[in-house]
Structure 1
C-alpha cells in the first residue's frame, strides 16, 4: 500500500515538473517569435522592401491613429523605392484627416508617392489624397465633397413630450453648448458656425494650393458635392484616369523608378492576427502544453480580433448620401 502511494506521489511530482517546463518552453518560444517580429517591423530595412514599391491602403472612416503615423515613419526609413497609396474612404474627422495628410506629406518628401482613388476619396479622404503630387482615379470613383460639418441630435421636443427635463449648472452660457437637451441658442449656433467656417477655409486653402486652382475654379468644386473620376479630371481635382498600373507608369515616367519593380503590400496597422508566423507559433506551442482549446481560438482569429470604435466627435470632413434622398 505504501509502495503504491509513493508511486502516485512520484508521478504527480514528475507531471508537475513536466507541465512547468512545457509552459516555460512555450513562453520562451512565443517571446522569441514576438521579438523577431517586432525587430522586423520596427527596423529601417523591412523584409522584401529592397527593390520594390510599397502599396498602402486607406480604407473606411479616417480618424487620428498614432499607430498609422508610426508605420508611415517606418516606411520613410525603409528601402522601398516608391509608394502607391490606395484610398477608399468617405472621410472622417478633420483632425484625423489632417494628421494623415501630414504623415503622407512627410513620406512624400522622402519617397516618390502617387495616390490611386478606388471607390471614393471624399472629404477627409480627399484631404489625404491631396498629399500626393499625382492623383489617379477610376472613371466611376467619387471624388471631392470639399466641406466640413458638425452634426448633433436635438432631443428637446422628445424630452418635453415624455416629461423629462435636464438641469445643469455651468460656468458660462457657451460651456458644453449645444448639448442636445435644449434648443440651440443663437450664440451657440454662431460659435459652431465660426468653427465650421474656419475649418472650411483651411480645407479650401489646401485644395487651392495643392491643385493649383484659381478662385473661380475652386468655387466650382468646393460646394460640398462629389464628382465622378471623369468629372474630377476636367475640374483638376485628379490628374489622370486609371488604376495601379497607371500610377506605376507615372512613377516610371516622372520619377525614374525602374519599370520592373514589384508592388508589395505594406500594412499600416499590423495586428497580432495579421502576423501569420506569430499566430502559427502561438498555436503550436499552446497545443504542445496541452491547451488545444485556446490554440484553436487563436487559429480561428477569435482571440485576436479587435473592433474599431470610430470616435466621430467634433468637426467632420465626411460624405454620406442625404437621408432625404
Structure 2
C-alpha cells in the first residue's frame, strides 16, 4: 500500500471518538500518505477527520464546512406539567442530572453546556488549524457554521483540489504505478 484515500460523504456527527479518529489519520499520514476525498458532503466532524489528511479533494458539487460545535437542550418541563408529570431528580451533586428531560433548563444549565461546547470546539479548531496549516485568524473566520460549495471551500483553504473521484484516484495512483514499475526494472 503506497497511499490511503479516505472516501468521505458525511454531514458529521457526534463529537465522541472524532478527535481520536482524526489523531489516528494524522499519525498514519506521518508513515504513509493519507488523502481525503469529499464525495458530496464533508462537514463538521467529517471535515475534522478529513483535515488531518495530507490533501483534501472534492467534487464540484460537494458541500464543505459546517465548522463548529453545538448541543441542544430541550426544556420539556411545561409539556411534562401539562401531562400531569412531575419530574424529580435525586443526585449526588448540583450539576448531576441537570437538564434532565422534564426539568426546566436553567441559566446555569446553559452556561455549563456552553462551557462544554467551547471545550470540544477548541480541539476541533486546533486540529483544523494544524491540519490545514491555517493561522488562528484564518481558522476563526471559517467558524461560522456555514457550508460552502467546493470551489468556495478551495478558495478558503479548506480543500486542495476540486475534481472528480476518478481523477483524484488516478492522480494518486499514477506515481505509485511509476514507482512500482521502476522497482520491477531494478
Would you say same fold, with TM above 0.5?
Answer: yes
Q: C-alpha root-mean-square deviation of aligned residues, in Å? A: 2.0
Is 2:129 aligned against 1:208? yes
Aligned length: 180
1:258 to 170, 177, 182: 177
Residue among 47, 50, 65 paired with 1:126: 47
Residue 137 of structure 1 is matched in structure 2 by 58
How far did 1:167 drift?
Answer: 1.5
Larger Rg over CA atoms: 1
**Structure 2 partner of 1:110:** 31
Equivalent residue of 1:233, what SS?
Answer: helix
Query: 3-state SS of the aligned residue for 2:7?
Result: strand
Q: Which 4+ stretches in 1 moved above 4 angstroms?
A: none
Report deviation, 1:131.
Answer: 1.7
Residues 112 and 251 in structure 1, CA contact (< 8 A), matched pair in contact too: no
Q: How does 1:223-262 map to 2 (within 5 A)?
A: 223-251=144-172, 256-258=175-177
Looking at structure 2, the residues matched to 154 and 223 of structure 1 have their Cα atoms a distance apart, in angstroms, of 26
Describe the SS at the equivalent of 1:93.
coil
Residue-by-residue CA offset, 1:120-141 (whole Å, 9 max, x unaligned): 1100110110121100011110
Question: Counterpart of 2:73?
Answer: 152
Q: Distance in 2 between matches of 1:118 and 1:235?
A: 18
Shift of 1:110: 2.6
Residue pair 1:105, 1:131 contacting (<8 A) in 2 also: yes
Normalised TM-score (structure 1): 0.52
8 A Cα contact 1:155 1:181, kept in partner: yes
Could you tell me how far apart the structure 1 residues matched to 2:152 and 2:41 are?
Answer: 13
2:114 is paired with a residue whose SS is: helix
| Structural mapping, 1:40-59, within 5 Å | none
What is the distance in 1 between the residues matched to 2:39 and 2:178? Answer: 23
Which residue in 2 is equivalent to 1:165? Answer: 86
5+ residue gaps in structure 1? 1-79, 262-325
The alignment's TM-score, normalised by the length of structure 2, stands at 0.87
After TM superposition, give the deviation of residue 94 of structure 1 in Å.
1.2
Following TM superposition, by how much is the alpha carbon of 1:259 offset from its aligned partner in structure 2, in angstroms?
5.0
Task: For residue 201 of structure 1, report the CA deviation from its aligned partner.
Answer: 1.6
Other structure's SS at 1:136 match: strand
User: 1:109, CA displacement in angstroms?
Assistant: 2.5
Equivalent-residue separation in structure 1 for 2:3 and 2:130 (angstroms): 24
Question: Which of the residues 101, 116, 121 maps onto 2:22?
Answer: 101
Determine the structure 1 residue equivalent to 2:138: 217
Query: Unpaired runs of 5+ in structure 2?
Result: 181-186
The offset of 1:234, in angstroms, is 0.3
8 A Cα contact 1:152 1:180, kept in partner: no
Q: Deviations over 1:6-60 (max 9, x none)?
A: xxxxxxxxxxxxxxxxxxxxxxxxxxxxxxxxxxxxxxxxxxxxxxxxxxxxxxx
Q: Tell whether the 8 Å contact from 1:84 to 1:244 is kept in structure 2 after alignment.
A: no
Q: Which stretch shifts more, 233-242 or 111-120?
A: 111-120
User: Secondary structure of the residue that 2:57 maps to in structure 1?
Assistant: strand
The residue aligned with 2:9 is 88
- The residue number in structure 2 matching 1:184 is 105
